[in-house]
Amino acid sequence: MLHQRLLSIVALVALLGAVACGDDSARHPTGDANNNDNNWNSGHSTDPNDPNYYSTDPNDPNNPNYNNNNPINPIDTNNPNNPNNPIDTNNPNIPIDTNNPNIPIDTNNPNTPELPPIPDDWTFIPDNYTPTYPGADNYDFIPETALACDSKTDAGALSVEGMAVWRDDAAGAYSMIFDDMCGYAVRQLPIVGRGELNRHNIMGSPGIIVSECIKGEGGSTWDDVLSMIQDGHEMSNHSMNHEKVEGAAVEVEAVQSKQYTDQIFAMADEWQKELFFFVYPYDYFPADGIAGVQRAGHIGSRAGNRDPFNGSDNPPINGNEATGDMTITFDVWPRTYSKYARYYEADVLWNHVYNAIERNGWAVREFHSVVHDKDYNDETQFHGFGPIKASDFNVHLNELVDAWKKNKVWTSTPGRILKYRQSRTKCTASASGSTLTYNCSGLDNKLAGEASIIVKTGSDVPGLEAMQQGKPVSVRKLGASRFAVTGHVLNGPIEISGCNTASVGVDAGDVRIKPTPAASVCDIQTVVGTGSDGRMDDMERDPGIEFQALPNPRQGDGRDGSWSSYPGSALLEHIQDGSNGGVVHFKHDTSAQVYGGVSLAFLGGNGAGSCYDASAYQGIQFDIKGTVVDNTEWLATKNVYFLSLVSAKTQTSAYGGDVDCAVGHYSFELTIPSSTSYSTVKVPWSSFVASSYVDENCSIPGFTHPSPSLDTVKKTLQAIDWGCTNKASTCDIYLDNIRLY
């Protein structure tokens, strides 16, 4: 029974894998902390307040350690005494590191990168973007709202209704972050992405890789960065060298990257004087990384654990209160990495926005590049991880403009929204005559920003003029005699005048309705194999083709899936190994007692949200060598690993499958014959054993936890997984020549 129970566990690879991004490619997209907190006792309650969320059952197959590309993320925000918690300036019980984040870069430190002097000038690069896709003229933009008045009138007595939860009293907020700025793979971002954002008058936040901006070899330089800032966009910090932010690397990747970039920004003297927000390479954010990011002086970071969330009743939406700034949760484009993998691709982006509207919350979207439609399917072009076509981006931006005009969504950048939350919750406002005044208490000046005051006027005038420090600030008419006035909470009083010219108002009507999920991910994407070409990956790559490039150039018979691994702290690399040539190497230090493994998807980055019918084949074959030392009594000295079939019919909907309650994946126990030479392993489908697990924490009416037939599994495959248990002290695996036969 113990044997069968363990099989039930190790076969549970959840496939919402790592968010890939790189300095000039999607090099090795490991570490999606969003899907895995790597607490080996965790259950899968979708309610983070559920006392069963931290399950004590080690046999729980919904254990999030089975998610691909997930790091150790021991943050426990419910326990202020947990030493693994990152610094939280909002929690008085957690001591704040008083180290000065503005200390100069230590040139005597051998870990300090050789950085060039700060330039003393820069050149603005005009936005010369011209869209080339059909229908490009069908676009809309957000109008300016900070306007002076040419014809004034008496507005009557002013009164303050209160502070708006979101700017202009919108129902929700939304941010778009674009990873890898200055990297070669996103070389069209400062052209196509910038151009589309600008023509819609929407602000985005590119995440810069500092060393790539310095080198300028990816097609973008500091001139591109500063030009986008002058447009109004906000840069986020995506590290110095795009390395994992942990251990000794924290100082360079998080601290020195900000110190150096802040000096560049100070030289340029544009509106953004420093980096506010940090986005972690590979979305891997261990506790020491988060603490270092905060110590460096960032006011927030994209580090929210997405495990408790799904794309339906519990989406990854942040609240509107000023809490958890260092652990902001998010969703990822494209669909295969999204919590909305159960939805059609055309619905994924809007669904996330709608959920923010519905919950009065803040949705954060991770993008990478935006590319010309004509280049999107050009195999001679490389655009890295999950680019979005300009035409699809235009559709998304038009929906955001429509939602802004109907006052449903405020789309802005992470730094601005973090400062808004802090300012709105720590400030009130009062009116005296024609003057509005902010009254703040306990607000750190570093966290201060704009906040909207809801104002009522004695007369229903068409508009208002609002002047702060001699300049107009934003006014929006919300209804009869009701306005939203938005100024900076530290910039002094706001003088109000009635205006005969109408302020920008709120359009009537509804936004696009909320999308509905597909009945099955197989309805969205199914590829039926013919059995003619079993190649999955021989690990050979042409020069310039990256290990985890999408589509995988070495797959056959309609497959295009790539590699992923878990947890995020594990090593996943493509190496040359003697006569075998290219191989994949996975190594996991399991001292933290978390499950580890490597997966090869049939379709997409990790197989989530798709189905591959492999019933025309008889099984899987591969070459393997390595060492697995497992301290489980009956596995000791056996060099055992577990091969699993991840299927849409055994994968939960939270991770890109169809199942409401976990049922466990089909698996097979295998022994690695040698640690020094490769052996060819051939496993027929008939060798895989169904899981007998019953998820006692899942009580959906009518769900009886059935294990699907092997025939059903073969027709709905998402990935093959090679995994080790959480008792393995060593998990060191080399793979080559993976194929179906």
Token pair for residue 629?
């030392």
Residue 22 has a pLDDT of 35
Q: Is residue 504 part of a domain?
A: no
Is-contact 410 147, C-beta < 8 A? no
Residue type, 342: R
Closest-CA residue to 568 (of 23, 21, 34): 34
Residue 312 pLDDT > 70 = yes
Task: Kindly report the backbone phi and psi dihedral angles of residue 376, in degrees, each rounded to the nearest multiple of 5, phi listed first.
Answer: -60, -45
Read off the pLDDT band of 568 (50, 70, 90): confident
Read off the pLDDT band of 704 (50, 70, 90): low
Q: Is residue 406 part of a domain?
A: yes
What single string gives the DSSP state of each residue in 197-219? Answer: HHHHT---EEEE-HHHHHH-TTS
Is-contact 485 496, C-beta < 8 A? yes
pLDDT digits (tens, 9 = 90+) for 598-617: 999 999 999 999 999 999 99
Q: Is residue 731 part of a domain?
A: yes
For residues 530 and 141, give the distance between their C-alpha atoms in angstroms, rounded to a whole number: 48
Torsion of CA 14, 15, 21, 27, to 10 degrees: 100
Any idea which residue has 């697990």 for tokens?
Answer: 693
Give the domain-ending residue among 418, 442, 474: 418
More confident residue, 25 or 567: 567
For residues 555 and 705, give the distance between their C-alpha atoms in angstroms, rounded to a whole number: 33
| 549 and 698, same domain (yes or no) | yes
Residue 288: give its domain's CATH number. 3.20.20.370
If you average pLDDT over residues 611-638, what whole number do you get? 88
Q: Is residue 177 part of a domain?
A: yes
**Number of CB atoms found within 10 A of residue 544's CB:** 8
Closest-CA residue to 499 (of 465, 448, 526): 465
- 9-23, 67-81, 504-518, 573-587: range with lowest mean pLDDT: 67-81
For residues 249 and 67, give the distance between their C-alpha atoms in angstroms, rounded to a whole number: 25
Q: Are strands 474-479 and 482-488 parallel, antiparallel or unpaired?
A: antiparallel
Closest-CA residue to 561 (of 571, 572, 543, 549): 549
Residue 75 pLDDT > 60 = no
Give, to the nearest 10 degrees, the angle between helix 390-405 and helix 345-359: 20
Q: Is residue 471 part of a domain?
A: no
| 59 and 204, same domain (yes or no) | no
For residues 31 and 17, give the distance between their C-alpha atoms in angstroms, rounded to a whole number: 8
CA pseudo-torsion sign 716, 386, 249, 86: negative
Give the structural domain span for 412.
172-418
- Residues in the chain, overall count: 741
More confident residue, 126 or 108: 126
Is-contact 115 260, C-beta < 8 A? yes
Closest-CA residue to 652 (of 155, 13, 7): 13
For residues 404 and 145, give the distance between their C-alpha atoms in angstroms, rounded to a whole number: 12
Q: Is residue 120 part of a domain?
A: no
Any idea which residue has 């590049």 for tokens?
Answer: 369
If you average pLDDT over residues 637-648, what whole number do you get? 91
Residue 113 has a pLDDT of 55
Residue 258 pLDDT > 90 = yes
Residue 370 has a pLDDT of 98
Burial of residue 18 (CB within 10 Å: 0-12, 13-18, 19+) is buried
Closest-CA residue to 290 (of 274, 305, 301): 301
Residue type, 504: V
Cα–Cα–Cα angle for 649, 654, 656, rounded to 5 degrees: 55
Which range has highest mean pLDDT (3-17, 112-126, 645-659)? Answer: 645-659
Token pair for residue 709?
């037939």
Residue 668: give its domain's CATH number. 2.60.120.430
| 405 and 528, same domain (yes or no) | no
pLDDT digits (tens, 9 = 90+) for 8-53: 333 344 443 444 453 322 222 222 222 222 222 222 222 323 322 2
**What contacts 655, CB < 8 A, 6 or more positions away?**
14, 15, 16, 35, 67, 341, 608
Is-contact 438 468, C-beta < 8 A? no
For residues 165 and 172, give the distance between their C-alpha atoms in angstroms, rounded to a whole number: 9
pLDDT digits (tens, 9 = 90+) for 422-476: 999 999 999 999 999 999 999 999 999 999 999 999 999 999 999 999 999 999 9
For residues 317 and 314, give the distance between their C-alpha atoms in angstroms, rounded to a whole number: 8
| 522 and 414, same domain (yes or no) | no
Is-contact 643 683, C-beta < 8 A? yes
Helix ranges restricted to H, 247-382: 249-250, 257-268, 287-295, 345-359, 373-376
Burial of residue 505 (CB within 10 Å: 0-12, 13-18, 19+) is middle
Number of folded domains that form the chain: 2
Residue 100 pLDDT > 60 = no
Q: Using H for helix, E for strand and C for coil, what is the string for 370-404?
A: EECHHHHCCCCCCCCCCCEEHHHHHHHHHHHHHHH
Residue 264 has a pLDDT of 98
Task: Kindly report the backbone phi and psi dihedral angles of residue 412, in degrees, each rounded to the nearest multiple of 5, phi listed first.
Answer: -155, -170
More confident residue, 85 or 584: 584
What single string gives the DSSP state of each residue in 401-444? Answer: HHHHHTTSEEE--HHHHHHHHHHHHHEEEEEETTEEEEEESS--
Residue 736 pLDDT > 90 = yes
More confident residue, 276 or 6: 276
| 548 and 670, same domain (yes or no) | yes
| 526 and 413, same domain (yes or no) | no
More confident residue, 85 or 531: 531
Considering the chain, what percentage of its residues have pLDDT values greater than 70? 82
* Helix, strand, or coil (residue 492): coil
Residue 550 has a pLDDT of 79
Is-contact 596 731, C-beta < 8 A? yes
Residue 64 pLDDT > 70 = no
| 400 and 523, same domain (yes or no) | no
Q: Is residue 675 part of a domain?
A: yes
Read off the pLDDT band of 282 (50, 70, 90): very high
CA pseudo-torsion sign 210, 211, 217, 221: positive
If you average pLDDT over residues 677-700, what whole number do you get? 90
**Average pLDDT in the chain:** 85
Residue 11 has a pLDDT of 35
Give the domain-ending residue among 370, 387, 418: 418
Q: Is residue 264 part of a domain?
A: yes
* Helix, strand, or coil (residue 5): helix
Read off the pLDDT band of 71 (50, 70, 90): very low
Residue 305 has a pLDDT of 85
Residue 102 pLDDT > 80 = no
Q: Are strands 172-181 and 362-367 parallel, antiparallel or unpaired?
A: parallel
Read off the pLDDT band of 313 (50, 70, 90): confident
- 123-132, 370-379, 654-663, 700-709: range with lowest mean pLDDT: 700-709
For residues 131 and 397, give the distance between their C-alpha atoms in angstroms, rounded to a whole number: 14
Cα 439 to its chain centre, rounded Å, is 35
Closest-CA residue to 487 (of 452, 457, 455, 456): 452
| 387 and 536, same domain (yes or no) | no
Residue type, 693: Y
Is-contact 74 22, C-beta < 8 A? no
Residue 666 pLDDT > 60 = yes
Is-contact 94 84, C-beta < 8 A? no
Give the domain-ending residue among 398, 418, 438: 418
